[in-house]
Chain A
Amino acid sequence: MRLAIEVEDLHFYYVKGEYVLRGINFEIKEGESVVIMGSNGAGKTTLIKHFNGLLKPIKGHVRVFGKDTRNHTVAELSRLVGIVFQNPDHQLFAETVEKEIRFALENFNFPSNEIDKRVDKILRYFGLERYKSASPFNLSEGEKKRLAIASVLVYEPDIVVLDEPTIGQDAIQRKRIINVLKELIKSGKTVVAVTHDVEFAVELFERAIVLSRGLLVADGSVKEVLTNQKVLEVANLLPSQVTKCAWLLEDFGIPRDIVSIEELKEHIYKVLRG
């Protein structure tokens, strides 16, 4: 299996000497789904900006499908790695929703009949077709977020990176985003998301990487990492309600590493009716 992203001894600072990333090492294989977690200011967004070369390592290396980001332009790398940033207002710029979505396709020289086809398809998929001619800035926050995601997915990069995709989303929009990403993961794309949302992480992803003050402090299965009390504390996270219940029911022999409602329910049933 190919390596999608290799991060090797990555160091970075914005202000000389004040390191934001202090020697990060990990690899992500093609087709893996990974969440990157950690408190505000841990270095998560700084890390993912290295994946398409927006930031270049001060020391160490980042490689995307073997290409060292230092030797390639953001434009080249963006074809492989699509990043959806946290605040759609920082990403959206076109006059209309349609132009926003066409932009990357035109930049990457897709043939024009292919562009039309893809634009129509993705607008329908995200329920944005009626806004085709509207300005992105007149959309609601939830719609803007979906447009930002759509404008990246439309050119089908091999690696999709999302910064806080569920922030400010109500349950319906959240479900929509989850379903889109589920499809994407199933289709074999590499999906990386920065998030604080433990329930979102548990529902979709296989692997969790946790950063704290510029260091990698945990890397493992979502189940293993997000039920580890020490790791959660370091990352300013709280256990999900389901995991918390399991911890509180430890005396009844319920394991501590429970993340799904189904598992918890079965264990409680056994305690009460077993």
Chain B
Amino acid sequence: MKERLITIDHVTFYYAGTEKPALNNVNLKVYRGDSLLITGPSGCGKSTLCRLLNGLIPHFFSGRLEGEVNVLGYDIRKTPTHVLARHVGMVFQNPENQLFLSSVEKEIVFGLENLGLPREEIKKRLEEVIELLDLGNIRDKPPYELSGGQQQKVAIAAVVAMGPEVMVLDEPTAHLDPLSSKEVLDLVFKLNHELKVTVILVEHKLDMTASQVSRMLIMNEGKVILEGNPRDVLNGYHLERLGVNVPKVVEVYNELKKRGIILNGVPLTPEELVERIKTEKLRLTYEVGNRS
């Protein structure tokens, strides 16, 4: 049986001074080792949902919170954010807002010192994370001299070093070029696969993420409107109208289907589409061979 880490139970939240709920009766369960992708149009409630998970709501952003949020056994209402921060690491859109020290090493060590860890343990974790994220060649550099992609990796490293069980990443590639985006996302999935960190990822770039996650959630106007396996979620609905950037290969799959070519399952990447086309071609050749 999978261990449940997060329970969001009938949660509605109004930011102070607003009359429309940012979250409207949301229910969500997250299990250990999950990788969950959340997407939806701007203003759908994605970031608000993230802010619940480390207690930024209700402790930093005030407003009216209804329902229950339980994270690793803690009721977020009764738990100070510094306690939750040990278990839930956050990474945001703009790494510049998160990095402020004079070297990559210092950035990583800062959070560890705040946890009050012994010196030897800090040293050990620093080396581990530098090795894991391949930051050896930039460890002495000041973050402001790094490219956006490297900065985001450092922000992730600083969070990973603290050993969180859950990582929440809110559009971590929004400011990155495509190759850097892919590198950062590959790293996130590596943490999920190898260290079994539970990952909650908010992203618009579905072409780089949908094939890598175990579950996907689409939100609109404060509600979860679709949830499930990414293949099922992305197929068959008119998601563009909801502001979802459906991967182009799904569109190709559907166009072919309209013309009578049914491939073996919805592809999420070019590799998957091509593999299905090759299978179909083989099947056809086999059929023709059998007939003659």
A and B co-occur in one complex: yes
Task: Write the residues of chain A forming the contact surface with B, with a CB cutoff of 8 angstroms.
Answer: 39-41, 140-142, 167-175, 196, 198-199, 235-238, 240-242, 244-245, 248-249, 252, 261, 264-265, 268-269, 271-273
Min CB distance, A115 to chain B, in Å? Answer: 30
Q: Which residues of B contact A261 (CB under 8 A)?
A: 248, 251-252, 255
A265 touches B252 (CB 8 A): yes
B281 touches A248 (CB 8 A): no
Stretch in B24-32, B56-64, B98-106, B169-177 touching the partner: B169-177
Q: Which residues of A contact B111 (CB under 8 A)?
A: none
Contact A248:B270 (CB < 8 A) given known A40-B149, A268-B277: yes
In the complex formed, the residue of A with least CB distance to B42 is A142
B261 touches A272 (CB 8 A): yes
Q: Which residues of A contact B273 (CB under 8 A)?
A: 245
Q: Which residues of A contact B43 (CB under 8 A)?
A: 140, 142
Residue of B242, B246, B259 with highest tally of chain A CB at under 10 A: B259
Whole-angstrom CA separation of A245 from B275 in the bound complex: 10
Tell whether B136 is near chain A: CB-to-CB under 8 Å: no
Whole-angstrom CA separation of A142 from B149 in the bound complex: 23
Tell whether B228 is near chain A: CB-to-CB under 8 Å: no
**Range, interface on chain B:** 35 or more
A170 touches B42 (CB 8 A): yes
Contact A269:B179 (CB < 8 A) given known A142-B42, A248-B271: no
Contact A240:B248 (CB < 8 A) given known A40-B177, A245-B270: yes
B252 touches A249 (CB 8 A): no
In the complex formed, the residue of A with least CB distance to B251 is A261
Tell whether B226 is near chain A: CB-to-CB under 8 Å: no
Q: Which residues of A contact B249 (CB under 8 A)?
A: 241, 245
B271 touches A168 (CB 8 A): no
A237 touches B248 (CB 8 A): no
In the complex formed, the residue of A with least CB distance to B268 is A241
Whole-angstrom CA separation of A264 from B256 in the bound complex: 10
B245 touches A198 (CB 8 A): no
Min CB distance, B171 to chain A, in Å? Answer: 7
In the complex formed, the residue of A with least CB distance to B207 is A241
Min CB distance, A180 to chain B, in Å? Answer: 17
Q: Which residues of B contact A249 (CB under 8 A)?
A: 274, 277
Whole-angstrom CA separation of A269 from B252 in the bound complex: 11
Apart from A252-B281, A272-B256, what 9 extra A-B contacts exist at CB < 8 Å? A170-B40, A171-B240, A172-B243, A196-B177, A241-B248, A249-B277, A268-B261, A268-B277, A272-B284
A140 touches B42 (CB 8 A): yes
8 Å CB interface, B84-128 against A: 93
Contact A236:B270 (CB < 8 A) given known A261-B252, A272-B281: no
Contact A265:B148 (CB < 8 A) given known A142-B42, A196-B177, A236-B180: no
Min CB distance, A268 to chain B, in Å? Answer: 6
Tell whether B51 is near chain A: CB-to-CB under 8 Å: no
Q: Which residues of A contact B68 (CB under 8 A)?
A: none
Report 8 cross-chain contacts, Cβ distance below 8 Å, ordered by A residue: A142-B42, A170-B243, A175-B240, A242-B248, A245-B274, A248-B271, A249-B274, A272-B261
Q: Which residues of A contact B148 (CB under 8 A)?
A: 40
In the complex formed, the residue of A with least CB distance to B258 is A265
Q: Which residues of B contact A199 (CB under 8 A)?
A: 248
In the complex formed, the residue of A with least CB distance to B280 is A272
B256 touches A39 (CB 8 A): no
Tell whether B247 is near chain A: CB-to-CB under 8 Å: yes
B244 touches A171 (CB 8 A): yes
A238 touches B182 (CB 8 A): yes
Tell whether B41 is near chain A: CB-to-CB under 8 Å: yes
Return the contact of B243 from the options A171, A252, A264 (Cβ within 8 A): A171
B269 touches A237 (CB 8 A): no
Whole-angstrom CA separation of A264 from B252 in the bound complex: 8
A273 touches B261 (CB 8 A): yes
B270 touches A269 (CB 8 A): no
Tell whether B80 is near chain A: CB-to-CB under 8 Å: no
Return the contact of B178 from the options A141, A174, A238, A273 (Cβ within 8 A): A238
Contact A238:B179 (CB < 8 A) given known A141-B42, A268-B256, A272-B281: yes
Whole-angstrom CA separation of A235 from B204 in the bound complex: 22
Contact mask for chain B residues 249-292; partner A; CB cutoff 8 A; 1 contact, 0 none = 10110011001010000000111011001001100100000000
Q: Which residues of B contact A175 (CB under 8 A)?
A: 240
